[in-house]
């Protein structure tokens, strides 16, 4: 009891110092002298710093929050709450806050003073929650964050779950250009790959779906109005065969653009498969040819304009001769005539593609020789199925580069977090990176405790009616009732 009496004694200098240290701005919280305000204790078996303070209103509440009787509230015994704060110098820090309780003499209802440093019925401060949320935006696991702030992993998960993001189909305006892609999801997803799409202008992620099948994509986008969906003019995607059918149905005015990276990747894959085929043939004939084809594969896939034909260097497997990069490629092409033919067509297509000459690009595809390797020819002919989309990619400046960068960030987050088991948690952390998060709406209580304080001049009519009911409960006369009612603002 002596400790409680000491805590009730306000020391202005100590109060100012501790409030600055703990970043507390509540004027109703006071602290005693330094010797009583700070102590070292073991909390949950860990040595911690504990600050002790008092939360009390300057005056008693105006009326009871339960029965509404005016002037019946008196002070009651304070109740201690141990609130966890942000660790100070890697030491757990707590605030033992003695909350002043109040009792109604009319109905015996008791209630406590409230503060804005912590949520109701919660023992983790808002500042600590915000610090944990800020760390969730970084590339680190939830276990590391929990160890850093001396909380449990479930606490970090609960804080993560308290924030959410949803693209409202009734208010969100779809952009002119959409970037579409997939990435590996979690085990609880409906498909192995998640569907992700973003704004083509800003690169900001709009939403992530746990199902990439066409019917799921349709169900999501058809929630948007037809007028909103007609705003989308371009959709950038890879060469997925199933997406174009759904996109044409969802976005009537949209043109499909194949990402330029995937077009070059298709060309590289076609020539690389031919190189591997020649390698296997040369393995039994000449082992040095096999090793050269395996070692210098990058020179084969490089555009011929980027090869150095002047500088001579010593390359392994060339008997210590000084040769240029173009001479290395010529040596590799001399091993097989079919490989040389495929290389020449590949370089021709790559040159037209870099110059954005889409007519010449498809002229080469339409005039492929009959004696060309079948697998190489089949890979190139696949591009003709996306003629219009490839022309759009060479004609328009849009690409999936911004979204591919986001996918790399997601993969890095999955790696440092040792994977995610829950899709919703993974989605929340991704949107924390995007800074698109909202607090979940809490359930409204029947009567706020702040209404028990003295009436202000900005009260509405409903609050005025509350004063009338309070006056009736105390059976005051009309003159007293007129004094209780706040003036009506005009």
Residue 451 has pLDDT above 60, yes or no: no
Of 45-54, 295-304, 367-376, 436-445, which gets the smallest average pLDDT? Answer: 436-445
Domain limits, the chain: 2-127, 131-164, 177-257+400-438, 261-395, 455-484
Q: Which pLDDT belongs to residue 350? A: 94
Q: Tell me the pLDDT tens digit for each residue of 197-224.
A: 999 998 899 999 999 999 999 999 999 9
Give me the chain's average pLDDT, please: 84
How far is residue 97's CA from residue 79's CA, in Å, rounded to a whole number?
A: 8
DSSP string of 113-162, one letter each residue: ---SSB-TT--BBHHHHHHHHHHHTSS--HHHHHHHHT--HHHHHHHHHT
Out of 43-52, 117-126, 153-162, 469-478, which region has the weakest mean confidence (pLDDT)?
Answer: 469-478
Burial of 460 (0-12, 13-18, 19+ CB in 10 A): exposed
Instruction: Name the band, by pLDDT with cuts 50, 70 and 90, for residue 481.
Output: very low
Predicted confidence (pLDDT) at residue 227 exceeds the cutoff of 80: yes
C-alpha–C-alpha distance, residues 76 and 79, integer Å: 9
Answer yes or no: is pLDDT of 389 > 60.
yes
The one-character DSSP state at 488 is P
Yes or no: say if 393 and 258 are a contact pair by the CB < 8 Å rule: yes
Position 174 scores a pLDDT of: 93
User: For residue range 282-327, what is the model confidence (pLDDT) as tens digits?
Assistant: 877 678 889 999 999 999 999 999 998 889 999 888 888 899 999 9
Q: Which residue has the higher pLDDT, 473 or 374?
A: 374
The dihedrals phi and psi of 55, each to the nearest 5 degrees, come to -110, 115
* Of 85-89, 338-342, 461-465, the least confident: 461-465
CA-CA distance, 139 to 304, in Å (whole number)?
Answer: 40
pLDDT at residue 250, as a whole number: 94
**DSSP secondary structure, 328-363, as one string:** HHHHHHTT-HHHHHHHHHHHHHHHHHHTT-HHHHHH
Separation of alpha carbons 392 and 398, rounded Å: 9
Residues contacting residue 128 through CB under 8 Å, at least 6 positions apart: 84, 85, 86, 149, 151
Q: What is the predicted pLDDT for the residue at 37? A: 86
Q: Would you state the pLDDT for residue 436?
A: 53
pLDDT of residue 2: 58
Are 409 and 186 in contact by the 8 Å Cβ rule? The answer is no
How high is the pLDDT of residue 70?
87
Residue 263: its pLDDT value, please? Answer: 94
Q: What was the pLDDT predicted at 4?
A: 67
For residue 165, what pLDDT is reported?
Answer: 75
Q: Is 76 in a helix, a strand, or coil?
A: coil
Residue 288 in contact with residue 282, Cβ under 8 Å?
no
3-state secondary structure of 323: strand
* pLDDT number for residue 452: 58
What pLDDT was estimated at residue 421? 87
Sequence-separated (6 or more) residues with CB below 8 Å from residue 302: 325
pLDDT band at 42 (very low <50, low <70, confident <90, very high): very high
Please name which of 106, 38, 6 lies closest in space to residue 66, comparing C-alpha atoms. Answer: 106
Torsion of CA 151, 152, 154, 155, to 10 degrees: -10
pLDDT of residue 71: 85
**With bands split at pLDDT 50, 70 and 90, how would you rate the model's confidence at 188?**
confident
Longest dimension (CA), the chain: 114
What DSSP assignment string belongs to 123-135? -BBHHHHHHHHHH
CA distances from 143 to 139, 282, 425 (A): 12, 52, 14
Task: Please tell me the distance from the alpha carbon of residue 315 to that of residue 313, in angstroms, as a whole number.
Answer: 6
Per DSSP, the residues of 203-247 read --EEEEES--SHHHHHHHHTTS-HHHHTT--EEEE-S-SSHHHHH
* Residue 413, pLDDT above cutoff 70: yes
Block residue for tokens 């959409």: 178
Return the minimum-mean-pLDDT range out of 41-55, 316-330, 467-481. Answer: 467-481
Positive/negative CA dihedral, 456, 459, 464, 466: negative
The pLDDT value recorded for residue 489 is 35
**In the predicted model, is pLDDT for residue 478 greater than 60?**
no
Contacts of 361 (CB under 8 A, 6+ apart): 349, 352, 353, 390, 394
Pair 272, 301: CB distance under 8 Å: yes
Query: Is it the case that residue 443 has pLDDT exceeding 50?
Result: no
- For residue 214, report the phi and psi dihedrals to the nearest 5 degrees: -60, -40
Q: How far apart are CA 414 and CA 418, in angstroms?
A: 6
Query: What percent of the chain stands above pLDDT 70?
Result: 87
What is the spatial distance between Cα 149 and Cα 158, in angstroms, rounded to a whole number?
A: 14
Contacts of 388 (CB under 8 A, 6+ apart): 255, 256
What pLDDT sits at residue 448? 46
Q: Is the domain 177-257+400-438 a CATH 3.30.420.10 member?
A: yes
Place of tokens 């009736």: 472
């Amino acid at each position: 009891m002596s400790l409680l009496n000491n805590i009730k004694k306000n020391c202005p200098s100590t109060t100012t110092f501790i409030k600055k240290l703990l970043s507390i701005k509540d004027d109703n919280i006071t602290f005693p002298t330094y010797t009583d305000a700070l102590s070292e204790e073991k909390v949950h078996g860990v040595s911690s710093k504990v600050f002790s303070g008092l939360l009390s209103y300057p005056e008693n509440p105006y009326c009871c929050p339960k029965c509404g009787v005016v002037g019946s509230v008196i002070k009651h015994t304070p109740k201690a709450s141990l609130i966890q704060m942000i660790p100070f110098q890697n030491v757990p820090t707590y605030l033992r806050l003695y909350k002043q309780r109040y009792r109604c003499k009319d109905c015996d209802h008791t209630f406590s003073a409230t503060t804005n440093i912590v949520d109701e019925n919660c023992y983790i401060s808002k500042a600590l929650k915000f610090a944990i949320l800020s760390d969730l935006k970084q590339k680190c696991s939830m276990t590391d964050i929990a160890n850093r702030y001396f909380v449990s992993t479930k606490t970090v998960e609960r804080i993560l779950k308290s924030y959410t993001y949803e693209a409202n189909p009734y208010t969100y305006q779809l952009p002119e250009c959409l970037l579409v892609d997939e990435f590996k999801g979690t085990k609880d997803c409906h498909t192995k790959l998640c569907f992700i799409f973003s704004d083509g202008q800003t690169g900001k992620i709009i939403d992530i779906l746990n199902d990439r099948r066409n019917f799921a994509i349709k169900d999501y986008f058809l929630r948007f109005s037809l007028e909103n969906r007609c705003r989308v003019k371009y959709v950038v995607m890879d060469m997925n065969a199933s997406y174009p059918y759904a996109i044409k149905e969802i976005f009537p005015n949209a043109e499909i653009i194949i990402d330029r990276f995937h077009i070059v990747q298709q060309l590289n894959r076609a020539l690389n498969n031919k190189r591997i085929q020649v390698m296997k043939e040369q393995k039994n004939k000449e082992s040095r040819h096999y090793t050269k084809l395996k070692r210098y594969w990058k020179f084969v896939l490089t555009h011929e304009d980027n090869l150095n034909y002047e500088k001579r260097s010593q390359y392994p497997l060339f008997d210590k001769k000084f040769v240029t990069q173009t001479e290395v490629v010529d040596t590799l092409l001399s091993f097989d005539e079919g490989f040389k033919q495929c290389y020449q067509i590949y370089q021709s297509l790559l040159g037209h593609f870099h110059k954005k000459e889409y007519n010449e690009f498809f002229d080469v595809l339409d005039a492929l020789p009959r004696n060309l390797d079948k697998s190489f020819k089949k890979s190139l002919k696949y591009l003709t199925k996306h003629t219009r989309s490839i022309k759009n990619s060479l004609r328009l400046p849009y690409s999936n580069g911004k979204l591919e960068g986001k996918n790399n960030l997601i993969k890095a987050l999955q790696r440092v977090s040792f994977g995610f088991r829950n899709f919703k948690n993974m989605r929340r952390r991704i949107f924390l990176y995007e800074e698109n998060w909202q607090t979940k709406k809490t359930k409204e209580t029947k009567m706020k405790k702040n209404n028990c304080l003295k009436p202000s001049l900005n009260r509405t009519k409903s609050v005025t009616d509350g004063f009338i009911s309070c006056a009736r409960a105390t059976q005051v006369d009309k003159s007293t009732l007129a004094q209780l009612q706040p003036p009506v603002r005009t």
